[in-house]
Amino acid sequence: MLKDQTMSVVFDGSPLKAMQSSHSHTPQAALSGQELSQEIKSFISGVDTIQGRKLSVREHARCAVRLLRSVPACRGAVLEHLRGVYDEHVSAFLHNLETEGDANSAVSSNLEDIIQEVHGVLSEFIRLNPRAWAPLVSAWAVDLLGQLSSKHAGRRVAPHSSSLNELLQLWMSCAATRSLMEAYSQCLAAMLAWCPDACVDALLDTSVQHSPHFDWVVAHIGSAFPGTIISRVLACGLKDFCSHGAKDQGLVVMGVEKGSRVPKIGSVVGILGHLAAHHSDSIRKELLRMFQESLSPSSPLSPTSSSTSWESSPQLRRAAVPFLLQLAAMSPNLFGAVSAELVELLRPPVLLQLQALLQGLPREELDNMLGLAVHLISQSPSGGARVLRFLADTATPASVIISGPTPSPHEGVREGCDRLLQMLLLHLHKLVYNRSDGVEGNPHHPASSQPQTVIPFLEELQTHVGELCAETLRLERKRHLWLHQLLCLLSVYGGPSVATEALCQLLTQARNPEELALAWQLHTTLSSCMAGLIPAAVARCVAQIHTHTLGPRQLRQLLLNLAAAIQSQDEERRGALGAQSTMAVQVGSAVSGHLHDFGPLLLHGDPSVSHAAVRLLSVSPLPRTSSPAHLLLLSRAAVTHFFLALRRRGEGGKGGRDGGQAGEAVNCSVLLLSRFAAYSPLTLKAVLQQLVEGSLHKGNADLFGGQIADMSGAPVAAPPVSPDLGASLLDINCRFGTTVNFSGSVWSVFHAGVIGKGLKVRTDTPLPDPSGVIQNIQTLLAVIVQCCSSSGLNGSRPPSDPDEPPPINAEAAKVIAVTLVENVCPDVANGELSWPPEEHARTTVERDIHIRRCFEAHPVLFALLQVVAAGRPALCYCSAVLRGLLATLLAHWESSREALSTDSPWHLQASCLLVSCMGEGQLLPPVLANVHEAFPHLTPFEVRLLLLAVWEYVRGNGPMPQKFVFSSEKGLFCRDFSRDGDVARYVAPIHSVLHKNIDRLGHLCWRFQL
């Protein structure tokens, strides 16, 4: 065939003359006719016509070169002869490698210069007349490369055909094959402008004939001409794929094993894989172009298109999509290069075209294609989250509102994606649950000897657990079921770490009970194969709290969800046993182990977070054992939150916003404090002490109608409105020194500054809301009473009548009494229980005034005294405070010149409350305990007489706790006044006052009968 082509070429002498004159490397002149005839005879016969001996390989080859240069019409015969020369050089080159000899052996040194000379001649011919020489030389070079590659493919030093890089390194180090490659590249570069198809077709025809040993040539040429080679390689592979698979005019059966029956597709994968290192962008564009062209309707051929183009064949266009699927299945790199943009291309118009293309396929072939697509998705190393979102969005029914600008897909397209998604979930289920078979059955078998199968799709989704949980919680019909199933598979695949993160994300992001139920469903599915999942999830949530990775809104939602989970235990107590109630017990147990971690959230700056925290802690079970340090920190945080909640409730009531939430926070705080107090004697004492101290603290005094008092107990005026001028003595003395002249004197005068800043500015302190103050005092008393009446603490018993309030625990009341004395009068010794004569009160005047000022600044003290009085005999430990307050009241009524006691309202109220508390605490007998009822109707002097009678009785009958006896019937300590002697002598002043004011006190006489 090569000779026929040679005879058909018309010889033109003008290029030959120019070429001969331009050959600088050819020193000999043009041959004469006789010499030319001798050269032809020697070339044909292989014998030197002058000397009569046989020509050596080198001499014969040089003769051929001379003929090629002088008689181009002989080029067919010369090129045919040079095939043997090249083959002999390649054989010698490979033999030297096999014998571990030097590549530059004798044969190489004898023929390499001949090869270089042939290359120079052909290169010059192609440069001067490419249209005549380029097609001929390109066909010869590529055919010879194919023959050499196939012939020597089985040599020991030749790498496997799949190792393109090693093959390239081997053949490009050989001078013969390198020369052929450079000649073909020159021809292709010259023919690209006017006839690229002929050159590329010869390359691909040889590739089909000598594949896969010839793939290294195509790969190397493709690196030099990627735009041309990539498209032609894909077209050639498509034709070969269709011809091998199209039996009886039917499309191919798509299976993963298909590549073994199609010889060319493996070569296409190898070539494109080699080119992908430097030309991945070109490959990606060409693959996407082939996909788009296969879906677009057929169009008439353009003048530039080839008659053999695959776009013009309907059969090839239908086979393009299966071909691309098979190509992607055989090369993950090629699939990864196009998967990202392929998802972006799959818009509704393209999906409709794809559906129309696949509708004509038989059922079996369509199933095989879907199976291959599922296999590709599961093995996709990147872009899995994008593919999943596309499938879920497209398969979602039209009745569901999809976020984003994506229009509703066609019903057929939706059903197809629905089916694909179901097949993907089933395939992943098989992969996940079958990947560890054989390892679990034999416990003595080391796990490292059988590594578990890696699923790239799930590996990539492990970094998108949070997004997957957020999409699942949208609760869209069918969509959230798919995603929840995938979340379960991902948790099983990833192990406890991924499962813990998924459960933690669901607990953090769920916004209502329906969404929170998805967390219970996930736990139910995973609990059969994973233990300790809930404690690990709670620990992970705590770790997120410590690292501040959650915002206030997420943190609040997490705490509320945990509280809702624990509160579901009530259903279990009612008999509704189930997975949810069982999980609630586990959540409560896990949270109870981290109470010291949730405690600081009570003081969070965001009110909603602190409210959620107190709600969680108020329903969480307390741990069986806990360190005292943690208990004290928790109690302090709970008490501080209680006062903050009271303040927020008052502010919410004024502003009209969040009043309900603030009230709920107060109720939860009360419940939390009562549960803490019932936990142990340590927490009871800590909570009561901090409640009393907090109510008297200057920052909380206004909540209970009090005023900020200084160390002496006197109210402190508000800070001045005028700014501090910040006078500097240095500046004053600088100015002072310049105005007075002390020259010649030994004295120095300095200015000592001005003392004070003038008169204090009077500011009107805002009066607190009376209703708010009363509500706060009632709330404080309620929590204190609940703490003091907790059952099972030091002898307190529930009352016999369930309608009666539980009795106040004596020890708890004693804690309040001692704390109250320490805060009101710190210098009082605990042993000061007995009262001295009234005239001796002048020795403690300063301390008594301080006590009275404390009661004036803190009205809540009287309410606290009433609680102490109810827990008899705790009021005995307040003896010093009672004595100091009574002494100041006696002094006031003695010095008062008012007409009636009602003209001193505070002192009248204090006197009534004081006597009432002493009567409740049984420091006074009933006769004396009722005298406060007559105070509003008396003069100041008469009030003093009655209070003096009270003083004398307490002095004569000291308030000692030993005088109280526990009554098992009442569950209280009671005092038997019959043992204290005659009370009549203390009642005489009372009867005298009654007789004097019988007109106003007649209705009270029965209250003072002995």
Q: What angle do CA 771, 776, 777 make, to 5 degrees?
A: 100
Burial zone of 737 (CB within 10 Å; 0-12 exposed, 13-18 middle, 19+ buried): middle
SS (H, E, C) 12-79: CHHHHHHHHHHCCCCCCCCCCHHHHHHHHHHHHHCECCCCCCECCHHHHHHHHHHHHHHCHHHHHHHH
Q: In Å, how far are 647, 688, 718, 767 from 702, measured between CA atoms?
A: 9, 20, 13, 9
Among residues 987, 989, 907, the alpha carbon closest in space to that of 940 is found at 907
The two tokens of residue 444 are 């003595």
Element (H or E) spanning 972, and its range? strand 972-975
Element (H or E) spanning 139, and its range? helix 130-151
Q: In Å, how far are 577, 838, 842, 875, 962 from 833, measured between CA atoms?
A: 58, 15, 18, 10, 12
pLDDT at 306: 42
What is the band of 613 on the pLDDT scale with cuts at 50, 70, 90? very high
Cα–Cα distance for residue pair 185/192, rounded to 1 Å: 11
Q: Which positions ≥6 away from 277 have C-beta within 8 Å?
A: none
Mean pLDDT of 222-240: 78
Q: What angle do CA 338, 339, 340 make, to 5 degrees?
A: 95
pLDDT at 209: 81
Mean pLDDT of 20-33: 50
pLDDT at 315: 72
Question: pLDDT tens for residues 617-666?
Answer: 988 888 888 888 988 999 999 999 999 999 888 887 665 556 677 888 89
The two tokens of residue 528 are 């059969």
Element (H or E) spanning 86, and its range? helix 75-98
Say whether pLDDT at 10 is over 70. Answer: no
Q: Which amino acid is at 330?
A: M
pLDDT at 792: 39
pLDDT at 994: 82
pLDDT at 639: 92
Q: What angle do CA 588, 591, 596 make, to 5 degrees?
A: 145
Say whether pLDDT at 403 is over 90. Answer: no
Comparing 763 with 992, the larger pLDDT belongs to: 992
Using DSSP, state whether 305 is helix, strand or coil. Answer: coil
pLDDT at 26: 41
Size of the chain, expressed as the number of residues it contains: 1010
Tokens 């200084």 belong to residue: 710
Say whether pLDDT at 696 is over 60. Answer: yes
Q: Which positions ≥6 away from 588 have C-beta within 8 Å?
A: 565, 566, 569, 620, 621
What is the band of 992 on the pLDDT scale with cuts at 50, 70, 90? confident
Which of 400-414, 579-593, 792-806, 983-997 bottoms out in mean pLDDT, i.e. has the lowest?
Answer: 792-806
Q: Which amino acid is at 424?
A: L
Give residue 919's Cα distance to chain centre: 63
Say whether pLDDT at 175 is over 80. Answer: yes
Q: In Å, how far are 312, 719, 728, 899 from 725, measured between CA atoms?
A: 94, 14, 9, 49
Comparing 560 with 275, the larger pLDDT belongs to: 560
Mean pLDDT of 750-779: 76
Cα–Cα distance for residue pair 496/483, rounded to 1 Å: 19
Backbone torsions φ then ψ of 802, nearest 5 degrees: -65, -20
Among residues 971, 872, 967, the alpha carbon closest in space to that of 924 is found at 872
pLDDT at 248: 33
Say whether pLDDT at 400 is over 60. Answer: no
What is the band of 717 on the pLDDT scale with cuts at 50, 70, 90? low
The two tokens of residue 305 are 């298109």
pLDDT at 909: 93
The two tokens of residue 693 are 């101290």
Mean pLDDT of 919-926: 87
Backbone torsions φ then ψ of 301, nearest 5 degrees: -65, 140
Among residues 977, 974, 932, 973, the alpha carbon closest in space to that of 950 is found at 932
Question: pLDDT tens for residues 939-969?
Answer: 899 899 889 988 888 888 878 888 888 877 7
Which of 74-78, 399-403, 820-824, 844-848 bottoms out in mean pLDDT, i.e. has the lowest?
Answer: 399-403
Say whether pLDDT at 697 is over 50. Answer: yes
Say whether pLDDT at 778 is over 90. Answer: yes
Among residues 532, 667, 676, the alpha carbon closest in space to that of 596 is found at 676
Evaluate whether 833 touches 958 at the Cβ level (below 8 Å). Answer: yes
- For residue 965, the cross-strand partners are 974
Backbone torsions φ then ψ of 715, nearest 5 degrees: -60, 145
How far is the first Cα of the chain from the last one, in angstroms, to the nearest whole number? 147
Mean pLDDT of 984-1005: 80
The two tokens of residue 317 are 């266009």
pLDDT at 203: 76
Q: Which positions ≥6 away from 792 have C-beta within 8 Å?
A: 678
Q: Where are the beta strands (DSSP E) in 822-962?
A: none
Among residues 629, 524, 611, 595, the alpha carbon closest in space to that of 560 is found at 611
The two tokens of residue 144 are 């010879």
pLDDT at 910: 92
Question: pLDDT tens for residues 844-883?
Answer: 788 889 999 999 889 999 999 999 998 888 888 888 899 8
pLDDT at 710: 53
pLDDT at 763: 61
The two tokens of residue 986 are 């203390």
Say whether pLDDT at 897 is over 60. Answer: yes
- For residue 715, the cross-strand partners are 709
Cα–Cα distance for residue pair 1004/431, rounded to 1 Å: 93
Mean pLDDT of 932-939: 87
Using DSSP, state whether 652 is helix, strand or coil. Answer: helix
pLDDT at 443: 38
Evaluate whether 951 touches 835 at the Cβ level (below 8 Å). Answer: yes
Evaluate whether 314 touches 357 at the Cβ level (below 8 Å). Answer: no
Chain mean pLDDT for the chain: 78
Say whether pLDDT at 126 is over 70. Answer: yes
pLDDT at 660: 74
Comparing 912 with 652, the larger pLDDT belongs to: 912
pLDDT at 451: 58
- For residue 975, the cross-strand partners are 964
Q: Which amino acid is at 735?
A: R
What is the band of 3 on the pLDDT scale with cuts at 50, 70, 90? very low
Instruction: Find the farthest-apart pair of alpha carbons in the chain and give their distance in angstroms, rounded.
Output: 175
What is the band of 29 on the pLDDT scale with cuts at 50, 70, 90? low
Q: In Å, how far are 21, 190, 313, 671 from 782, measured between CA atoms?
A: 120, 100, 90, 10
Say whether pLDDT at 713 is over 60. Answer: no
Say whether pLDDT at 719 is over 60. Answer: no
Cα–Cα distance for residue pair 662/647, rounded to 1 Å: 9
Burial zone of 390 (CB within 10 Å; 0-12 exposed, 13-18 middle, 19+ buried): middle
Annotate 848-861 with b (16+ C-beta within 10 A) or e (fewer).
bbbbbbbbbbbbbb
The two tokens of residue 553 are 């809104």
pLDDT at 379: 81
For 314-363, the DSSP string reads HHHHHHHHHHHHHHHHH-HHHHHHHHHHHHHH--HHHHHHHHHHHHTS-H
Among residues 189, 280, 210, 272, the alpha carbon closest in space to that of 238 is found at 272
Comparing 839 with 45, the larger pLDDT belongs to: 45
Mean pLDDT of 463-468: 88
Element (H or E) spanning 915, and its range? helix 905-920
Question: pLDDT tens for residues 782-834?
Answer: 999 988 886 434 444 455 555 566 788 888 889 999 999 998 887 776 556 77
Cα–Cα distance for residue pair 216/274, rounded to 1 Å: 9
